[in-house]
Chains A and B, each alone.
Chain A
Amino acid sequence: MEISGSRMVVEALKREGIDTVFGYPGGAIMNVYDELYKQDDIKHVLTRHEQAAIHAAEGFAKVTGEVGVAIVTSGPGFTNAVTGLADAYMDSVPIVVISGQVPMALIGTDAFQEIDAVGISRACTKHNYLVTDAKDLPRVIKEAFYIARSGRPGPVHVDIPKDVSAQITEFVYPDKAEIPTYNPAFKGDLEKIKNAVEAIKSSKRPLLYVGGGVVQSNSGNLVREFAEKTGIPAVETLMARGVMGSTNPLLISMVGMHGSYAANIAMSEADLLISFGPRFDDRVTGKLSEFAKEAKIIHVDIDPSSVDKLVASHYPIIGDLHSVLTDMLPLITEIEPEQFEDWRDAIEKNDKLHPLGYDKGEAIKPQEVIEKIGEVFGDRANISTDVGQHQMWAAQFYPFSRPRQFNTSGGLGTMGFGFPGAMGVKAGDRDRVAVNVTGDGSILMNIQELMTAVEYELPVVNVILNNNYLGMVRQWQTLFYDDRISETDLTVQPDFVKLVESFGGVGYRVETMEELEKALLDAEKRNVVALIDVKVDRRENVMPMVPAGGSLYNMMLR
């Protein structure tokens, strides 16, 4: 079959099982848009900004575990997409981003809307391609999907010059990507797994350090089984929220800068850290020289460059976590949950001493807003967030019950991620309520997506924890800069209710907890794009807090 390069793109997407793409057209990508027009299998969601298209593809990928796809034009279309690529790169999100490029003959001439896209994306993608001949397109797209989803997942960018998408040539879509230089690790070394199990047997204070890799590899059930079988308590990173389930007695809480007291102390007192797919981020470890000083470290990760990068491990195991856990579980014999009872009791005592909590007051506390959303929606909702205090409160206080329930920008910390991310989540999981917990600062960074959400019936419920501040920065100013509030006061604000209504959504202004509950239920029932503006105590701080660079066990508590 001889077809155009642009038709190949669409055919290839179909064969990859893609039914939804997010994007924004422009000159250099028009051939592809013309092909999208001629078919009905793939639905295109026109976001109102390219950054949002990428975040939506990320949200889709995170909630479904499949590859998300976004399409943008050359020049500014592509540069607008860069933040999204970087976000996906930092959080290992499998997406494929296709961009148009000026025709081959114009590349390098400073042509209209020309930018060296692969030069820019090289630093923030797992891999990228500039396609110079349409006969390479089928192979390139096949490889792009394979690379995005295999090994440690990540974004792949494919840049297609306009004359290449117009070029007509033979189309044969390969069954399989064959890249001789790319062999992602799969099975872990059995000897090493056995040694790790021996270390677990002889440990006294073992701790499961559960990271985002567990979600990526769909190993949540195996990790829960591991914990149950051994009675070993667990802490979760931000990216792993939901893995253990909030009602699990073995889950201590989140660990790290805003982790719970008991979780951070457990990390510091453990004699064995069983690390399943975390990356020892500085927001988790605090001061490295003081990190888990008492512990031997087992580190299971699919990415060899993650192991021993920051913290030297005693039992490194490189492999797919799901496969490693499948090999590991049957080896776990002679471990009785009773043997760690004292350790669990000590942790429990710490948790009672300084539980995650807050003081109620006159004004609505942001934490109680999260608790209320949890009470009203619980397992029924997928929670996305923006970046700031509200993000940390969502991570601390939402009763997560399963992996992939929590969708947040962890590595890059991208304000503006939440709303388009939640649109992608909704597109990928229609049966659940898509909530975006956001801030009065963050929501304005992709507010134009109200239009997309209304047009495509992606009823995201945005809950603004409105503190009239860039709260997280304000918190640092208060704590570390003598409360000099430099450019973080957001007293001047839009009327959020009118704003959302002008786009055709529904707005709620909420001043009491009863009103909040009503608004949440109403938004769910009416199935509308909603913006709930909740005035919260503006001076509340996220606690506990490990000051940046400090030791994990030295927390400010209130």
Chain B
Amino acid sequence: MSDYVLSIQDLSVTFALHDTEVQAVREMNFDLRAGETLAVVGESGSGKSQAFLGIMGLLAKNGRATGKAVLGDVNLLGMAPSRLDAYRGKDIAMIFQDPMTSLNPSLKIKTQLSEVLVKHRGFDTRKAEMTTIEMLERVGIPEPAKRANAYPHEMSGGMRQRVMIAMALLCQPKILIADEPTTALDVTVQAQMLDLFKTLTEDFGTSLVMITHDLGVVAGVADRMMVMYGGRAVEKGKVDDLFYDPRHPYTLGLLHSTPHIAHRAARLDPIQGLPPSLEHLPKGCSFNPRCAFCFDRCLEERPPLTPVGDEREKACFFEGPLQSKKVA
């Protein structure tokens, strides 16, 4: 237990709507080891972002997270925001999907970064700004002392995302959550950014959670991965195992629909059908309307997440080899 920096137990995220509720995340469990990188993958709307916003206490007003998120010896969930602020930004930091809107347009870069050090490290402004400039240099921003005085709108998307990375790593957090940090960026910048994540998290011994729907990203940075579908984890395990021997039809589908990785398939093969609506999940296995391996049991029962081999789990009743059959 002690080599885990973060342990998520039965995490669910629910949003209250006018007369109903939607459950965006359902009974999620995982442990994060010190220094490792965990990739969280799934199509749009599968609950990736909301799960981690829930952990960070950043859900929209109508959202509620239940379960446990144990960091060291404290449970972050259900903690009053004022207490949570002792950990957010210091032990656990998050980088968001859209670098263009995630920085405050009316404040200088150095203000937005140094305030983290003033708050969590008790630095005075001068020392905080000096540390800020060092960190900007570290994330590869040219002329960091000058750029520190710039406003966000004077920087490109790639530069802003570097600023976000610098901001998140200022306190050398135990955990960094990066929510699709490269999706909004040019392909050329994406690769540089992933390198940066790798080097910096290694240097600081930070565990990284990389949320993405791009398996190419996973292959480059992650040790383990968790595949989400309709708010649930459907397969978990080491990246190599899941890539070479996927056990869940949805994971297989994702692999077949990713360029570069789908080399074993004759051509790119997108998963048929649409992601499920959270309000009307099908009875039985949520994936059954899109699954080529679906059989009668899948229509009645929901497959629980069960261990299959070394550090692997899957939520699927089908036991035969997946490779033999073409994905629907």
Instruction: Please say whether chains A and B are actual partners in one complex.
Output: no
